[in-house]
Structure formats: C-alpha cells, structure tokens
Amino acid sequence: MSKIFVLNADKRPLDPIHPAQARQLLRNKKAAIYRKFPFTIILKESRPEAPIHPLRLKIDPGAKQTGIALVNDFTGEIVFAAELKHKGFAIREALTSRRQLRRGRRARKTRYRKPRFLNRTRPQDWLAPSLQSRVENIKTWVNKLCRFAPIEAISQELVRFDMQLMHNPDIQGKEYQQGTLAGYETREFLLEKWNRQCAYCGVKDVPLQIEHIHPRAKGGSNSITNLTLSCQKCNLKKGTRDIKEFLKKDPSKLDKILRQANKALADAAAVNTTRFALLNVLKETGLPVEIGSGGLTKFNRSQQKLDKTHWIDAACVGKSTPARLIIKAVKLLLITANGHGSRQSCRTDKYGFPSRHVPREKIHFGFQTGDIVKAIVTTGKKVGIYVGKVAIRSSGSFNISTKDGLVQGISHKFCKRIHAKDGYSYAV
C-alpha cells in the first residue's frame, strides 16, 4: 500500500502513514498539505518522540526512464514507487537544432563575427548535457525524498550488464558468476539488444534460446558479439550451419543480423556513461550506498515471480532485497522531466529567422507557466472544474492542460495554485 509522507512541525520526516490516517488528520485540522506531488502532509503540532522505521531508497537508472522505490528492509513493504521519465533525447535534439541554425547563419553573408578557438574548455568529468540532465533529475528526487521520508540507505543498479563477464564467462573472482546468477547478465543484454524477439523469424512472446551466429562446432566463440536469440524452431532448423549458409536466400536479413550483432546498445551506453557520476552524487548524501548489477536485479525479480516494470526493478536492486516484497495496492507516481522552460528570448521559424519575442515578465497575477492549478469556473460558457498545468498570459486569460485536453480562456480569478512549477509534470 502506497503511504503518505508525514513531516513533524519542525519539518522532520516521520514514518509514512496510511492514506486513511492522513485523511483523518486533515479532516480534524491537525495537519495541512505540505506538497501535492509527492503527497506530503505536515503536522500543526509536534508529536512526542516515537520510534521511526528506516527506509531504503532504491534506484534503477535507465536511459529513458528511471525506477524509484522506497522499501522497508524488515517488512518488505514498498512504501513509495515512482517512474521518472528523462528528457535527455529532447535535449539532444534541441542542441542539434541550435547547432544547425548557427551553422546556417555562419554560412550566410552576415556581419563579421570574430573566430572562436580555444576559449571553450570543459571541466573534468564533463558529461554531455543530455546525459548530465539524467544525473541531475535523479539527484533532485533523491534530495526531495530524503526531506520527506526517513531514508537511511540507498541502493543503485550500478551496471546494467557485466560486460567483462559476458566477454569472458570463465573469469574468476566474483562469487555469483559460477552460482545461481550465471547467464543472467548475458541473457538480459541479449533480450534488450534483439528487442525480445527471434532474430531469424521475428516471433515474440515465445521462449527464446541463446544461439551462436557462427556455430561453436565451426570455431565460433562465446563472445557477446557472436550471440543472438532465436526460437526453438529456428534454432533446430539452423543447427550447426553457418549463418551465411542458413540465410543465403535472404541476404537483406543476413546483413541486418550481422550489423546488429556488432552494434552497441545505445541505451546501455548512456547508462554506463552516467553510472559513476550518479554514484558520486549518491555518496554526497552521506548515506551508505549499496550497488548491484542488472543480472542480480533480474534474478531477484524472477525469484519472486514479479512483473518487469521500472519501479519493480528498482525494488529488486541489490543484495539487500527482502525475500518477499509486498507490492499490493502500490499507487505508482509517473514523473516527467519537462525542464524550466527556455532562456531563448527570440524565437525563430524553421529557417532560423526571428519570428516572435518572449516577454521578460514570467509571473502574472501570481501565476507562472508550468504551475498546476485548480480552476472552479462558476460563470460563463466554461462552467466546471479544471485541474492541470497552466499557460499564462499577461491579459489574465489562461490556458489549462487537463487530462481531457486543453481548455482555453480561463480567467485567473477562478484559478488556485495547488503545486508550484518545479520542472516536472505528474500523473498517478
């Protein structure tokens, strides 16, 4: 059961409570709403000291989405679960667009611009903006949850795949390599790389087998670049034949498989690039940090027969995972990173020419674009209750993006802010 975060009157985090208890405290005016997302209440009077049960914050970083879970190590209860959607690819596209526009301007006969050579230096451990945003998003939510919940430890999935183990399965020195986890790293990597389908016939949702592209009987290796996935039917049909002989009548598929075999996994590369930067950020909190691999995560999840989702993967990270996780009635919070807008004051058309200007003022009538508001309209043609993200105008006529669509022309007089703009959007 997802619980509600509680702060003492001095803003110290207490044990999360059942939603029914939170409703009773709010109804009796003993507490007030402190944050809407994640929902947090604050007590109006300090309570006597009571034992607080420590929680573990568990993180499963991903290139597109990161799973977050708060777990009680003693009871196995998942107190809070969220999935954080990153905007790294949107940042990459925006930078590419800016680079193209600037290159176009430099190619035209415009005013003289002094050349820039060695005046742009990068600091040590520099990350590309699309990658740095992933680290900053997770850092923001780690700090936020540490303020709202009694977190005393952190678990992070440091490596999605153990590349050294996959290239050399006989490597020694790791306890799990020859134990119950043998094969989990390789299989999980191949499932991601080959889109969870047979490389030869494309069938999905059937048991898949690990298959050698160049057969072992003819000198093929166990290298990850020589492995693929196939269904039982294709595996038996290919047998010990070389792939060039097996697919000689379908050269396009042969070329596609050989190219895919040597292709790096883009998402895995993004995660691997940011993993140690994220680890350093987590260590800065001063809390003990446990690390685990993707293979161990999948093993923990498979042992408990749980579905594969980002937040369940997060709950299964590391050796500290309880033998039985309680996931019943967990309400998932979906978080999307939108950023804080743009500093660009002059908008351009698709050719790079100025088309409109952005006003300097960001706040009108106490609201700013990105606030989540509740509008109760009592008069006019748009009578009703609307909740969503607001886009403001200096005239006072706002637009509200609700789950049912965009509502235009709502007066600021009917709006009440329920969550200040913080660069994220939310859904339950």
Within-domain flag for 159: no
Q: Which of 261, 283, 300 is the last residue of a domain?
A: 261
Regarding predicted confidence, which is higher, 103 or 297? Answer: 297
Asked whether the predicted pLDDT for residue 84 surpasses 90, the reply is yes
Residue 1 — pLDDT band, cuts 50, 70, 90? low
Could you tell me the residue range of the domain that residue 203 belongs to? 164-261
Counting the structural domains of the chain, the total is: 3
CATH of the domain at 171: 1.10.30
Regarding predicted confidence, which is higher, 110 or 357? Answer: 357
Within-domain flag for 244: yes
Asked whether the predicted pLDDT for residue 181 surpasses 60, the reply is no
Q: Which of 214, 243, 261 is the last residue of a domain?
A: 261
Within-domain flag for 336: no
Q: If DSSP states are collapsed to H, E and C, what string results for the chain?
A: CCCEEEECCCCCEEEEECHHHHHHHHHCCCEEEEECCCCEEEECCCCCCCCCCCEEEEEECCCCEEEEEEECCCCCEEEEEEEEECCHHHHHHHHHHHHHHHHHHHHCCCCCCCCCCCCCCCCCCCCCHHHHHHHHHHHHHHHHHHHHCCEEEEEEEEECCCHHHHHCCCCCCCHHHHCCCCCHHHHHHHHHHCCCECCCCCCECCCEEEEECCCHHHCCCCCHHHEEEEEHHHHHHHCCCCHHHHCCCCHHHHHHHHHHHCCCCHHHHHHHHHHHHHHHHHHCCCCCEEEEEHHHHHHHHHHCCCCCCHHHHHHCCCCCCCCCCECCCCCEEEEEECCCCCCCCEEECCCCCEEEECCCCCEECCEECCCEEEEEECCCCCCEEEEEEEECCCCCEEEEEECCEEEEEEEHHHEEEEECCCCEEEEC
pLDDT at 335: 93
Q: What average pLDDT does this structure show over 301-324?
A: 91
Asked whether the predicted pLDDT for residue 134 surpasses 90, the reply is yes
Within-domain flag for 239: yes
Asked whether the predicted pLDDT for residue 263 surpasses 80, the reply is no
Within-domain flag for 367: yes
Q: Which of 198, 226, 261 is the last residue of a domain?
A: 261
Regarding predicted confidence, which is higher, 82 or 244? Answer: 82
Within-domain flag for 369: yes
Asked whether the predicted pLDDT for residue 112 surpasses 80, the reply is no
Within-domain flag for 324: no
Asked whether the predicted pLDDT for residue 183 surpasses 70, the reply is no
pLDDT at 352: 74
Within-domain flag for 371: yes
CATH of the domain at 376: 2.30.30
Residue 172 — pLDDT band, cuts 50, 70, 90? very low
Q: What average pLDDT does this structure show over 350-378?
A: 87
